Amino acid sequence: MATSSTKRSLTRFYWAWGILTVVGVVLSIWLPHRYVPRMMSNDGNLSLTTMILFSVLAAPVASGVYAAALHIMHADRYRGEGVPPAAEPIRENTKLLVTWLTVSAVLTVFVLVWGLGALAAENSTSGNPLVVDVTGQQWVWTFAYPGTHVVSNELYVPDNREVEFRVTSLDVTHGFWVVNFGVQVDANPGVITTIHTTPDKLGTIEVRCEQFCGLNHAFMDAIGHVVTPSQFSAWLSSQPQGA
């Protein structure tokens, strides 16, 4: 039954829901831009966009739960006199329940469809990738370029061309993680695992190990560079032609 106190109380609930949603949306957009490293590949951009989008969509759902909890705690708090009042009946408010369930269901279906699309996009490949053989060992990364004899401890890749990393390990399991590309895959001894992405910004990139691999795991990182195709060719030909 909608008494005046019910109306007042639900108004407070809607306000709390709205304010918490705004706070959640702002944090969902601001935090990743503030703390996530610069993304420099198609997969990195897609992952970041997906993370921000999902956080924004989750904000009204999470805020609804928090607002309901606050509403119930407020309505049910015991003031020390007589029988404590029951929580105002959110569950009897059909309009509110239908809205809540519909919004949640639509958001869930959207997230599912978006996620499947993003997964398919990340799995698609171009026909002519640059192949880089990546080898992890305690505690360094080595990058070799098939078709040349170039072996380097710094990763060089050209801009705007798909790179296929063929990743393996000489000893224990490592984790190959190109932070700014948003891609990572395990480096297993005796197995070659491939992962691919397309760099889309010039600059310095960070390669790390993300699988605990022994004493100096934390120091197992490498510097990388996304350069123009002509700079890449110049770098390749300037390298000592090793074994």
Q: 46: Cβ–Cβ under 8 A, 6 or more apart, which residues? A: 118, 121, 122, 182
Choices 94-102, 115-123, 220-228, 235-243; region in contact with Cu ion by CB under 5 A = 220-228
Tell me whether residue 13 or residue 143 sits nearer to Cu ion (CB atom).
Answer: 143
Tell me whether residue 177 or residue 232 sits nearer to Cu ion (CB atom).
Answer: 177
What is each CA distance from 156 to 102, 121, 143, in whole angstroms? 49, 24, 9
Tell me whether residue 39 or residue 220 sits nearer to Cu ion (CB atom).
Answer: 220
Q: Which of 187, 209, 222, 226 binds Cu ion (CB under 5 A)?
A: 209
Tell me whether residue 178 or residue 213 sits nearer to Cu ion (CB atom).
Answer: 213
Question: If binding is defined by CB under 5 A, does position 213 make contact with Cu ion?
Answer: yes
Tell which phi-psi region holds residue 160, choosing left (phi > 0), alpha (psi between -120 and 50) or beta.
left
Q: 109: Cβ–Cβ under 8 A, 6 or more apart, which residues? A: none
Tell me whether residue 90 or residue 207 sits nearer to Cu ion (CB atom).
Answer: 207
Choices 8-16, 104-112, 122-130, 207-215; region in contact with Cu ion by CB under 5 A = 207-215
Using CB under 5 A as the binding criterion, the count of chain residues that bind Cu ion stands at 5
**Cis, peptide link before residue 139, omega less than 30° from 0:** yes
Work out how close the CB of 187 gets to Cu ion at its nearest, in angstroms, rounded to a whole number: 9
Measured between alpha carbons, how far apart are the two ends of the chain, in Å? 84
Contact between residue 59 and residue 37 where contact means Cβ atoms under 8 Å apart: no
Work out how close the CB of 167 gets to Cu ion at its nearest, in angstroms, rounded to a whole number: 13
Q: Which residue has the tokens 């949306």?
A: 25
Tell me whether residue 10 or residue 213 sits nearer to Cu ion (CB atom).
Answer: 213
Rounded CA gap, 41 and 241, in Å? 29
Structure tokens at 142: 């080595």
Q: Which of 217, 222, 224, 232 binds Cu ion (CB under 5 A)?
A: 217
Work out how close the CB of 21 gets to Cu ion at its nearest, in angstroms, rounded to a whole number: 40
**Edge-first strand listing for the sheet containing 163-169:** 151-152, 140-144, 130-137, 163-169, 193-197
Contact positions with Cu ion (CB under 5 A) in 163-202: 174
Tell me whether residue 96 or residue 213 sits nearer to Cu ion (CB atom).
Answer: 213
Rounded CA gap, 42 and 121, in Å? 9
The 117-156 site mask, x for binding Cu ion (CB under 5 A), equals: ----------------------------------------
Interface contacts to Cu ion, rule CB under 5 A: 174, 209, 213, 217, 220
